[in-house]
Structure 1
């Protein structure tokens, strides 16, 4: 999405207005994600790259949330509500991504106090319809009324909402920008290492790649008295990862494996040569 939008902006002489923002999720995100986002932005000629980060990572917030929920449950004589985020309580997105990004929007708005009208921000999101039933229902373009106010008008645009996964990989190949090695290992999405909404295959693979972090999640399950995913505990995820490891240790697939599945070996070889002429 970034490469696509940057190309459109450059074509109409508006590249100077593009700001790329990375919501840093601390140690729960895949290593190297922030530096990769910065590298991609520099390669595309984006003039401004921002990193925002909430106070406390996901596990810290889960523990704090549990304390509050347990106190409320005791006061009301009710069972303790789940402290983990879920499809019906996606507070992780609002707390760790949307909130910090809106704070940046406020700063960007304040920087343009010279305008005699509300600042207009086009908030581009790389969400695709094929990713989930929920995202399929999202509008490609909509006014973000919650984030808008008298000083700023925020429009949400999902430029790749209708794109297939193959179209995404074709754009990556065209752009020449590097992608994260987690895809090479077999991850279908680059979100949190362990996403409560992630598919079982992804979280099991993540447990094989990050066993120490998986153990931290399992310990938090005990603390908050609830499984990480409804119907699938991190303990079970770790057990499945261990069973696969017993069959054979993970080995890193050849570079370009993830891309070649969608655009073919010839296009992938050309991409890798442009990315690193020494290949």
Structure 2
């Protein structure tokens, strides 16, 4: 089915956050496309949320990940990122109102979709595949997703848009095994044991993850904890209903006092998920490919 789907498509948009799931999804789709000689159909799309929202180097990493397969890469700027969106609206997003996803990613990607379809110059309805690297084990909502579905909201008389989740049934172990086996480059935030490469302070992240994010900011010399807590105070809206980001910063300071600054080594993500031998093998593969 994947080979037939890629062959039938006029264009495939591979949405890349630079994170681990979109990385293995990109590797899988590019592999399939290469088998049927259709890599020219792929456009890797990265929505850049800016340095007030994302970890350093994410955009460059996403571009390098696409370049590994010789694929076209387009980055979409989001103006002021999550921080600017919150400032403008006077409140943080939450699980029920994920304004960051709709305003900073989906809406902007749809504008690009229109330009790509126009450039095809077809005299018929174009078939466009939107490839998303989500996995069912991440949340109950994602577990209800279908591997393949027509996007009725985005489709129109000019384009039939199909949403495809190529790694929907992959486990987290599957993801790290593919990264390790293929020597794929991932973001060092994972080595600091951040579970996802989302916004630095994601409204969907748990308390302990946010505490670790604050500590990682301090280790990297990023001023984001101060920026976000100042914004909280200015707009009078807490980061989460249960607690403020200022509370998270206080807790992070306590952990730092007990444990010292956050430290990590290259390959710690592989070690944590697959063991020391896998980390050593990954280092050999990665550096061999890099040189």
Gaps of 5+ in 1: 67-82
Residues in 1 aligned to 2:65 and 2:88: alpha-carbon distance in whole angstroms: 35
Match for residue 98 of structure 1?
A: 106
Residues in 1 aligned to 2:88 and 2:65: alpha-carbon distance in whole angstroms: 35
Cα-to-partner distance string for 1:112-160 (whole Å, 9 max, x where unaligned): 11x2211211101111111111111122211111111111111001111
* 1:186 lines up with 2:211 in the alignment: no
Residues in 2 aligned to 1:128 and 1:219: alpha-carbon distance in whole angstroms: 34
Residues in 2 aligned to 1:65 and 1:126: alpha-carbon distance in whole angstroms: 29
8 Å Cα contact 1:173/1:267 also seen in 2: yes
Match for residue 130 of structure 2?
A: 123
Match for residue 173 of structure 2?
A: 166
Quick one: higher RCO (CA 8 Å, sep 6+), 1 or 2?
2
Residues 1-279 of structure 1 mapped to structure 2, 5 A cutoff: 1-27=25-51, 28-46=53-71, 48-66=72-90, 83-113=91-121, 115-211=122-218, 212-277=223-288
Q: Which has the larger radius of gyration?
A: 1
**Offset of residue 201 of structure 1:** 1.8
Evaluate the alpha carbon distance shift between residue 167 and residue 129 of structure 1 in structure 2; reply closer, same or farther with a 3 A threshold: same
8 Å Cα contact 2:128/2:161 also seen in 1: yes
Residues in 1 aligned to 2:35 and 2:274: alpha-carbon distance in whole angstroms: 25
TM-score normalised to structure 1 length: 0.89
Residues in 2 aligned to 1:117 and 1:239: alpha-carbon distance in whole angstroms: 58
Gaps of 5+ in 2: 1-24
Name the SS of the counterpart of 2:162 in structure 1: strand
Q: Which stretch shows the higher mean deviation, 123-132 or 263-272?
A: 263-272
Runs of 4+ aligned structure 1 residues displaced above 4 Å come to none
Name the SS of the counterpart of 1:149 in structure 2: coil
8 Å Cα contact 1:43/1:177 also seen in 2: no
Output the aligned Cα RMSD: 1.6
Equivalent pairs counted in the alignment come to 261
Residues in 2 aligned to 1:253 and 1:54: alpha-carbon distance in whole angstroms: 31
TM-score normalised to structure 2 length: 0.86
